[in-house]
Amino acid sequence: MFPEIARDDVFRLETRRLWLRWPRESDAPAIAALAGDWGVARWTAMLPHPYTLEDAERCVMAARAGNARGASLRLALTLKDFPRKFVGMAWIEPSEYGPRFGFWLGRPYGGRGLMSEAAQAMADVFFRITDADELSTVILLDNSASRAVLEKCGFVEEERFDVGPGRHADSPVVRMALSRLDWRAPLGPRLQPALAFDRALS
């Protein structure tokens, strides 16, 4: 799915306040602490709960392996002011509906617009370096916070289902999508994150 430029662990994205980079082994304790919060996990389909350090270590290894193959793009969100401060994850991976976007943010970092920056960066890089026509995601019907993030990036509701994936099998969900055409359309004061590929583009 992703070209060679994204398959090297020097690949990273820059927004006003964040670096998005490949996850590292050193991120595992923070991943375990933040993803282990039920207030985070409940909104996701697949995060185990409870979430252990071993789960986090497997997550890092799987993310790096998928990135290296170009099968997916899973990036750690870190604060630019504190580059080793892991705050969440964002990813794009294959699904039955085509490329699917997913994300979560640690609760201590919510309410600042950080996830909107990260989501815009992920959508931008996806359409810039792939030839795909659409990026979609599935969220719980009552997940207003994630919906707000997605709508800010131009995602629109496509369809609703009575059941969702994983732990959401008994809950109504919404599939939202962003088309290449809508991505190119003016969205008002859009975020325009710079892409920083380190030596890849230097």
What's the pTM? 0.91
Q: Does residue 84 surpass a pLDDT of 80?
A: yes
Which residues does 171 contact at the CB level (< 8 Å), separation at least 6? 140, 141, 163, 164
Mean pLDDT of the region 156-166: 94
Residue 202: per-residue pLDDT:
29
Interval 65-76: pLDDT, tens: 999 999 999 999
For the residues 138-142, what does the mean pLDDT come to? Answer: 96
| Tokens describing residue 153 | 């990036």
Q: Which domains does the chain have, with CATH numbers?
A: 4-185 (3.40.630.30)
